Structure 1
């Protein structure tokens, strides 16, 4: 909610006095905590009774409760802005660190996707979008590519997979137990297998010939949702590498 909406709800009809009080508070909201009702009335060129009526129109018992609620509102907005600013700064810092990903790892994955007969790509939950993005990107480049967002479906690929195919799995945590259960067999038969994760200590790397660890583990672990946009950024880097050949 914006400050003007807090001070003047859409369902409230304002008088001329109300509008004067509203304009004074809107201009210097933080100052309201430091002044008396008499001072506010004077600054708004109205009366103490008018200020009280204004506060009651907003649903408060009087000026004292209004001041308390306004203070809480301003504190909430301050915390919201700080949190979002901090989140965005951390996100941009992680995104900028992607330039430090070893070029040969991107080249190796790009070459595998281009030279394979078929590409099989998995991403579960929030990791599903970048997996689908990679599959669609390769399809646009006329490479037969399959995508799924669960390991049960992936287990049905076993009879289709050939030695020259590429297999790519996106996993934020790198701790997915279903990899061993459902796809360890096809992974053992292929040379072009890739795990893309944020976890440098993943134990799943033993099932893959290649493991690409993206920067930003701490950010990924503290994010409210899996940071699929960072995976998507990496996918864009890979596709861009292929198209720049």
Structure 2
């Protein structure tokens, strides 16, 4: 398990609402915060340097500088398997995309997909968890399931996701979508879901991730992270494709029974 995630996970509940809001801002804007002073961050978050220092110390750091270094290092680690898009020609880019989709779909197990489809059918509520580039995939999947007659939702607000992670029960199902499987916020939600004994289906773009170890079922998408400087242009089409196959299989087996 990522050491930064463990530190944040065990200490996060000690933060006040204001300190949590600062942490959220920092994790959503790692590059910018990494270049800020405590004074600049205080102005940006409408707080004080003392509050920022207190937040860092509650999280187990000596101060803001150590905290800032930790999140910057974490961000680099998440991008350690990244490729840049500058040196790839058009044909190679197409081939890479086709390979990602083909590899992802060909590795699917019909038995596993059917088991997850059955779990969807038996669950009272389906809640999708995804942030950043994975969020639109979750919104689309929840919308499709809703049209099929299932109670399904995807939230865009950090606090709403936290509330849902705390409120779901063992009769519900959580579908967690993450490119790296190591995103701090996503792992925090997964930990809360485990405590509530909520079944978890993970859709991830990297093998041997922390999220995989926390999930009851995991579907892997072949993905290549692509950045132009700090702009993430990584395609999530493989993640979306896996979810589409799962929903099609669910509809084929259970939709008529719900009519």
Task: Give the structure 1 partner of residue 107 of structure 2.
Answer: 100
Structure 1, unpaired ranges of 5+ = 1-79
Change in Cα spacing, 1:180 to 1:236, as seen in structure 2 (3 Å) is: closer
Task: Give the structure 2 partner of residue 85 of structure 1.
Answer: 91
Task: Give the structure 2 partner of residue 204 of structure 1.
Answer: 211
Change in Cα spacing, 1:158 to 1:231, as seen in structure 2 (3 Å) is: closer
1:1-245 pair list within 5 angstroms: 83-97=89-103, 98-158=105-165, 160-214=167-221, 216-217=222-223, 219=224, 221-222=225-226, 224-245=232-253
CA distance in 1, matches of 2:162, 2:199: 17
Secondary structure of 2:91's aligned partner = helix
Query: With CA pairs under 8 Å and 6+ residues apart, which has the higher RCO, 1 or 2?
Result: 2
RMSD of Structure 2 on Structure 1 (CA) = 2.3
Contact kept? 1:191, 1:209, Cα under 8 Å: no
Normalised TM-score (structure 2): 0.57
Select the structure of larger CA radius of gyration.
1
Show structure 1 runs of 4+ deviating over 4 A: none
Change in Cα spacing, 1:197 to 1:180, as seen in structure 2 (3 Å) is: closer
Contact kept? 1:116, 1:166, Cα under 8 Å: yes
The alpha-carbon deviation at position 159 of structure 1 amounts to 5.2
CA distance in 2, matches of 1:182, 1:114: 23
Normalised TM-score (structure 1): 0.60
Structure 2, unpaired ranges of 5+ = 1-85, 254-259
The size of the alignment, in residue pairs, is 163
Task: Give the structure 2 partner of residue 11 of structure 1.
Answer: none
| 1:63-114 CA distance string (max 9 Å, x none) | xxxxxxxxxxxxxxxxx9x712111111112212212212222222222222
CA distance in 1, matches of 2:181, 2:118: 23
CA distance in 2, matches of 1:182, 1:196: 14
